[in-house]
Copies of this chain bind each other. A is one copy, B any other.
């Protein structure tokens, strides 16, 4: 029997480690995406923090799926991981291919497996609550549900998709059916969602038996599922077959149609969750709403006078900031960003400019 602290039998943690984090430039680069950075000031990178949360549940049963350029960095950051389970995608083909590859391999490797997929670049403040939710979800998943964790919305965000909760799930007190997944709403619509109490943030966390996931995929994308299973049976064909896989998110390929088919369950969860999409959300995470300058890194380098906002002195240089509110200063060895929390999203405009002007090496 699983206790509150033991690992979960045959539970495999799958960590897709992809995405460049363009809006966190110049800290995050295509050569060094955000999951490789310590964005929380804890001394652990987002990837390491993700493993730290999952290892008590999965023990050694951890699979990381990452881009080929990042495989060495992942192995350096997670030296205790079995190298065979650090899977390198030949090219980026979105989350269905990445998670589906892990599912197809696990289906053959451990017929009793329940897998849980958790992005490498999320931040979760309450690891015990998280573990409780995953435990509950794994138990539901054993009954062949595709299970997602439903994050309690902290505010009516327009940046996330939502899970519309359905009826209670017979036999599983901790779970409900999922009526549908809804796309990122307006703030107004999100406010209406929150008022009903029946909507949760979709953090893209799925717990499912590998065979169930692949069989569901096979209902709507039969060739996709078949190709993944072919690769798992003959890994030497990865290079040849990978480019044929569609570029599609797991949400669109499986979760949404499966919800319509009544095959998705949700475990509403209470842990605090952050997807650090830009420097505004990073500033909120690091400093809250305190009327002061937050420093991520060596605070001794920063001299702030009458300033609020976020400073990242990542180049080792002294950074002086005087008389600016909600400013964002990101100092790296080869590029500097100065903006405000309100304009943090527009960093991607600069990244696009740099690519166009032949300075893609900096992005």
Contacts and interface: CB of A to CB of B under 8 A. Distances in A.
A339 B317 contact: no
A306 interface: yes
B322 A362 contact: no
A324 B346 contact: no
Contacts of A323: 339-340, 342-343, 346
Nearest to A316: B334
Interface in A293-335: 303, 305-306, 317-324, 327, 329, 331, 333-335
Contacts of A198: none
Contacts of A340: 322-324
A320 B305 contact: no
A321 B305 contact: no
Contacts of A306: 343, 346
A26 interface: yes
Copy number in this complex? 2
Interface stretch (A55-63, A153-161, A347-355): A347-355
Nearest to A327: B338
A26 B329 CA distance: 16
A182 interface: no
A337 interface: yes
Nearest to A330: B320
A232 to B, nearest CB: 44
Contacts of A333: 317
Contacts of A73: none
A336 interface: yes
A322 to B, nearest CB: 4
Contacts of A353: 303
Contacts of A317: 333-336
10 nearest A-B pairs in the assembled complex, by CB-CB distance: A323-B343, A322-B339, A320-B350, A318-B335, A321-B338, A319-B336, A322-B343, A320-B337, A303-B350, A322-B346
Given A318-B334, A322-B337, A322-B346, 5 more contacts: A303-B354, A306-B343, A306-B346, A324-B338, A329-B336
Interface of A: 26, 303, 305-306, 317-324, 327, 329, 331, 333-340, 342-343, 346-347, 349-350, 353-354, 359, 362
23 contacts: A26-B318, A26-B320, A303-B353, A305-B343, A305-B346, A305-B349, A305-B350, A317-B333, A317-B334, A318-B335, A319-B336, A319-B338, A320-B337, A322-B340, A322-B343, A323-B340, A323-B346, A324-B338, A324-B339, A329-B336, A329-B338, A336-B336, A338-B338
